[in-house]
Amino acid sequence: MKKGLQLGTQSVAFDKPVHIMSSASVVGPKEGEGPLKDTFDKTVEDATFGKDSWEEGESEMLKETILLALRKAKLKAEDVRYLFAGDLLGQLIATTFGVMELRIPLFGLYGACSTMGEALALASMTVHSGFADTVIAAASSHFGGAEKQFRFPLEYGNQRPMSSTWTVTGSGAFVLSKEYGDVVITGITTGKVVDYGVKDSLNMGACMAPAAADLIYHHLKDFDRKPEDYDRIVTGDLGVIGSEILCKLLRDQNTDIAGVHMDCGMMIYDDERQDTHSGGSGCGCSAVTLAGKLMSELRSGEVKRILFVPTGALLSTVSYNEGQSVPGIAHGIVIEKGV
Amino acid sequence: MKKGLQLGTQSVAFDKPVHIMSSASVVGPKEGEGPLKDTFDKTVEDATFGKDSWEEGESEMLKETILLALRKAKLKAEDVRYLFAGDLLGQLIATTFGVMELRIPLFGLYGACSTMGEALALASMTVHSGFADTVIAAASSHFGGAEKQFRFPLEYGNQRPMSSTWTVTGSGAFVLSKEYGDVVITGITTGKVVDYGVKDSLNMGACMAPAAADLIYHHLKDFDRKPEDYDRIVTGDLGVIGSEILCKLLRDQNTDIAGVHMDCGMMIYDDERQDTHSGGSGCGCSAVTLAGKLMSELRSGEVKRILFVPTGALLSTVSYNEGQSVPGIAHGIVIEKGV
Q: What domains appear along chain B, each with residue ranges and CATH number?
A: 2-177 (3.40.47.40), 183-337 (3.40.47.40)
**Pairwise CA distance, residues A330 & A233, whole Å:** 13
Read off the pTM.
0.97
ipTM of the assembly? 0.97
Sign of the dihedral defined by the CA atoms of residues A127, A131, A133, A137, in that order: negative
Q: A153 and A294 in contact (C-beta within 8 Å)? A: no
Q: Which of B193, B201, B333 to mutate against chain A (most A CBs within 10 Å)?
A: B193
Contact A5 B82 (CB under 8 A): no
Q: Which of A259, A201, A209, A206 is nearest to A230 (CA)?
A: A259
What pLDDT does residue B329 have? 97
Contact B319 A107 (CB under 8 A): no
Q: Residues of chain B whose pLDDT is less than 50? A: 1-3
Q: Which of A19, A329, A331, A18 is nearest to A188 (CA)?
A: A331
Q: Which of B87, B107, B331 to mutate against chain A (most A CBs within 10 Å)?
A: B107
Which chain B positions have a beta carbon within 8 Å of A314's beta carbon?
Answer: 91-93, 96
Q: Which of residues 135-154 of B touch A (CB under 8 A)?
A: 149
The backbone torsions φ and ψ at residue A196, rounded to the nearest 5 degrees and listed phi first, read: -100, 10
Between strands A166-167 and A280-281, the pairing is parallel
**Pairwise CA distance, residues B69 & B80, whole Å:** 12
Q: Which of residues 146-205 of A touch B (CB under 8 A)?
A: 149, 190-193, 195
Contact A91 B112 (CB under 8 A): yes
In chain A, which residue ranges form alpha helices assigned H by DSSP?
Answer: 54-72, 93-99, 115-128, 143-150, 204-223, 239-251, 264-267, 271-274, 283-289, 295-300, 317-321
Cα dist. B122→A109, A141, B16 in Å?
11, 24, 15
Q: Which of B76, B303, B75 is nearest to B182 (CA)?
A: B303
Q: A230 and A307 in contact (C-beta within 8 Å)? A: yes
Characterize A14-26 residue by residue with b for buried, 16 or more Cβ atoms within 10 angstroms of its Cβ, and e for exposed.
Answer: beebbbbbbbbbb
Cα dist. B165→B37, B183, B202, B278 in Å?
19, 30, 7, 5
What pLDDT does residue A4 have? 63
What pLDDT does residue B327 have? 94
Q: Which residue of B has its CA nearest to A92?
A: B110
What pLDDT does residue A155 have? 85
3-state secondary structure at position A142: coil
Q: Residues of chain A whose pLDDT is less than 50? A: 1-3
3-state secondary structure at position B51: coil
What pLDDT does residue A3 have? 44
Contact B96 A319 (CB under 8 A): yes
At A43-79, the pLDDT tens digits run: 999 999 999 999 999 999 999 999 999 999 999 999 9
At A132-166, the pLDDT tens digits run: 999 999 999 999 999 988 888 888 888 888 999 99
Alpha carbon of A130: minimum distance to chain B alpha carbons (Å):
5
Which amino acid is it at A332? Answer: G
A210 touches chain B (CB under 8 A): no
**Pairwise CA distance, residues A218 & A160, whole Å:** 34
